[in-house]
Amino acid sequence: MENQTPILSLINLDVGYNATPLLNAINLNANKGELIALMGLNGTGKTTLFKTILKETPSLSGKVLFGDKELELNQLQSQISVVYTERISIYGFSVTDMIAMGRMPHTNRFGKLTSKDQEVINASIKSLKLDDIAEHQIDNLSDGQFQKVMIARALAQETPLLLLDEPTAFLDIKNKKMIHELLVDLSQNHNKTILVSTHDITFCQLHCDKVWLVKDGELNEKLANEIKESDFD
């Protein structure tokens, strides 16, 4: 990856709960246009890192910088979008309604969608191949369909940084391949910076620019082709 413009910088960052760190002294940069795999065993702090970056969980020490500055909570939605693994409970909305929620940082104070907003929503639906279920109710979807909708909503948010927490966990092989190809396209052709939590070593080796590896309470950077199964013993 030639582009070395940091979008996200973690500086002497400790993350955890109740003064007990899960990850210590993180010093890493995510650069513009990079596709980064966040890898490690379950329960080692990957989701906690996401929540710390998003200010959902306070850091124990250190800084999270976007560009060269720390952002307030109300500034984050225009800079970062996230898709978590767990399914949220929500009723009474169609697929299109849910994806349209991604436009909230861009709509006027009345929340009215413009023609530009509609174009972005439609493009997100097309990117995730959701045309056939665009008017279906969210609560009637399978877990895999719901996950694709949440990814589409994140795309509609149009942020420079995407955090994806095991985005293909509920998807079949065909849809996993489609998501992987989409992530590569977003990073390489649209300059999106993507941090994706995954257990898929093959995806990492074939498509990612680098790896943030969680091991023994530390988060270190490795080249994607250096990752091997013994890293997770």
Q: What is the pLDDT of residue 1?
A: 46
Under 8 Å between Cβ of 227 and 233: no
Residue bearing tokens 């582009």: 3
Question: Which of residues 126, 157, 188 is at a domain's end?
Answer: 157
Note whether 199 and 133 are same-domain residues: no
Note whether 74 and 181 are same-domain residues: yes
Q: What is the pLDDT of residue 110?
A: 62
What spatial distance separates the first Cα and last Cα of the chain, rounded to whole Å? Answer: 29
Q: What is the pLDDT of residue 170?
A: 87
Note whether 17 and 60 are same-domain residues: yes
Residue 82 to residue 122: CA distance in whole angstroms: 19
Is 106 in a helix, a strand, or coil?
coil
Note whether 163 and 72 are same-domain residues: yes
What are the two backbone dihedrals, phi and then psi, of residue 16, each rounded to the nearest 5 degrees?
Answer: 165, -160
Find all residues with CB under 8 Å of 207, minimum gap 6, and list them: 35, 180, 183, 184, 224
Under 8 Å between Cβ of 149 and 99: yes
Note whether 73 and 166 are same-domain residues: yes
Note whether 170 and 226 are same-domain residues: yes
pLDDT tens, position by position, for the chain (233 residues)? 445 789 999 999 999 998 889 999 999 999 999 999 999 999 899 999 999 999 999 999 999 999 889 998 888 989 999 999 888 788 889 999 999 999 988 886 667 889 999 999 999 999 999 999 999 999 999 999 999 999 999 999 999 999 999 999 889 999 999 999 999 999 999 999 999 999 999 999 999 999 999 999 999 999 998 898 888 87
| Element (DSSP H or E) covering residue 233 | none
What is the torsion angle, in degrees rounded to the nearest 10, for the CA atoms of residue 110, residue 92, residue 137 and residue 96?
Answer: 10
Residue 63 to residue 66: CA distance in whole angstroms: 10
The structure's pTM equals 0.92
Q: How many domains does the chain have?
A: 2
